[in-house]
Amino acid sequence: MHKNKKTCFLALVVGILFMITGCWDNRDVTKLNFITALGLDKTPEGSIELTVELPRPSLMGKGQVGGGGQESKEKPITIVSAQGETVLAAARNLLEKLEKPVILSKHELLLVSEELAKSGLMEVLDFFERKPESNMTSQVLIVKGSPIKKIMETESEQEKIPSIHIANCITTNQNRLGSSKESRIIDLLREISNSGQDPLIPTIEISQEKEELKVKDMLISGTAAFRGDRLAGYLTATQTRGWLLAENKAKGSVFTVANPLVKDQKVSFETYRTIGKKEVELIDGQPRLIVQLKVSGSIGESQGGLDLTQPDQLALLQAEIEKTIKEEVESTISTVQEYQTDIFGFGEIMRRKYRSEWQKMKDDWPELFSKASYQIEVETRINRSGYIRQGTKSE
């Protein structure tokens, strides 16, 4: 009995030894390719083209190679693309060109071409929803006017990996300038499936054609409005800012208004905190969209001299600022009404406020939304004007 137990135990140990040598799911980090950005495009034949940005770790740390201060001409990233009928098929076809399989959990950026945006985003987003370990917090951008490969081949002078530079640009832009907004894959999915809200995705385009494109030649400004998952139209930078204001997402920006006292001179108003409230009211069964903004900030720069200690000058300036902001938001609302896209989520507000009416209205909401009347109220507060009350006058 004892001998039997010993042999059994030895057999078990040997068996386990065999099992430890190879793991089914062993994924060696050195044998994987980490992707930092993805680009999706549609070919004329109708298949999906997937482009990936691969960082090259060996070139990450070095800016100069060789003696004599010669800079390394090699790029820190590589761009590879492949085609397939679906995103997953394209991803597998990539392996024809790569020596190591790819891992998707660390990408920061997803670039989608205009064509794909026009034919419907869900064609490609299903892959991201379904795949375990895909990064749901990566930023999505719509590429305007150029092929995706060109945008992805740009270099960055500030970061080794250009896609990180671009992703950071978007965040900084939303917080400081207001001409772009963050849009993560998961937010996109939620907005697409919601009948009362349409997605708004930032855009990127080349502003200066050059031989060797850098990120600074790109324009990461303006957004694309979608109806469901299809592209409906574009919003300019100021219209995007109007959206951010209404959505209570504008953290800080600069509004340049005409100096009310001196012709052709401008005053820059720098905002720190804006509060935006949206409401919908049903008047005689028709929706009325209400946006209320409370903007507070200080004068950052003034051309033409303005003495704000005079209350009437202050009031004039305030009125000018309020007019400018109101026009911005009006422009945004009327444009999206034309596109029939409810990017503000007024439908969502309806859904919570007028529950039974919404059930009847939700199928026709794009049309009802486009015909709805709107009302924008702006309240401005000028807190300070920097160190000086009045600028130096030339005598």
Number of residues located near another protein, criterion CB under 8 A: 19
Helix axes 311-339, 237-246, angle to 10 degrees: 100
Residue from the set 64, 137, 208, 256 that interacts with another protein by CB under 8 A: 137
How far apart are alpha carbons 155 and 162 in whole angstroms?
Answer: 6
- Which is nearest to 299 in space by CA: 246, 241, 260? 260
Kindly state whether residue 355 participates in binding another protein, applying the rule CB under 8 A.
yes
Of the candidate spans 146-154, 185-193, 292-300, 374-382, the one that interacts with another protein by CB under 8 A turns out to be 185-193
Nearer to another protein, 137 or 207 (CB): 137
Residue the block writes with tokens 């990996």: 161
Nearest alpha carbon to residue 317 among 240, 254, 380: 380
- The CA distance from 134 to 107, in Å, is 8
- Applying CB under 8 A, the span of 184-192, 223-231, 309-317, 373-381 interacting with another protein comes to 184-192
Site for another protein (CB under 8 A): which residue of 35, 38, 77, 189? 189
Select from 51, 113, 135, 253 the one that contacts another protein (CB under 8 A): 135
Binding mask 45-84 for another protein (x = CB under 8 A): ----------------------------------------
Residues with Cβ within 8 Å of 341's Cβ and at least 6 positions away in sequence, in order, are: 198, 225, 226, 227, 232, 233, 366
Return the range that interacts with another protein (CB under 8 A); candidates 67-75, 135-143, 221-229, 328-336.
Answer: 135-143
Q: How many CB atoms lie within 10 A of CB 229?
A: 20
Which residue reads 């924008």 in tokens?
376
Nearer to another protein, 94 or 167 (CB): 167
CA–CA separation, 46 vs 329, rounded Å?
Answer: 38
164 binds another protein (CB under 8 A): no
Please select the residue that binds another protein; options are 98, 164, 186, 254, rule is CB under 8 A.
Answer: 186
* DSSP-derived 3-state class of residue 45: coil
Residue 273: phi, psi to the nearest 5? Answer: -135, 125
Pairwise CA distance, residues 52 & 342, whole Å:
32
**CB closer to another protein out of 129 and 367:** 129
Binding residues for another protein restricted to 15-34, rule: CB under 8 A = 23-25
The reply to whether 133 sits near another protein by the rule CB under 8 A is yes
Residue 391 to residue 393: CA distance in whole angstroms: 6
Closer to another protein by CB, 34 or 390: give it: 34
Position among 43, 64, 105, 256 found at the interface with another protein (CB under 8 A): 105
| DSSP bridge pairs for 281 | 288
Confirm or reject binding of residue 172 to another protein (CB under 8 A): no
Q: Which residues of the chain form contacts with another protein (CB under 8 A)?
A: 23-25, 105, 132-137, 186, 189-190, 193-194, 348, 351-352, 355
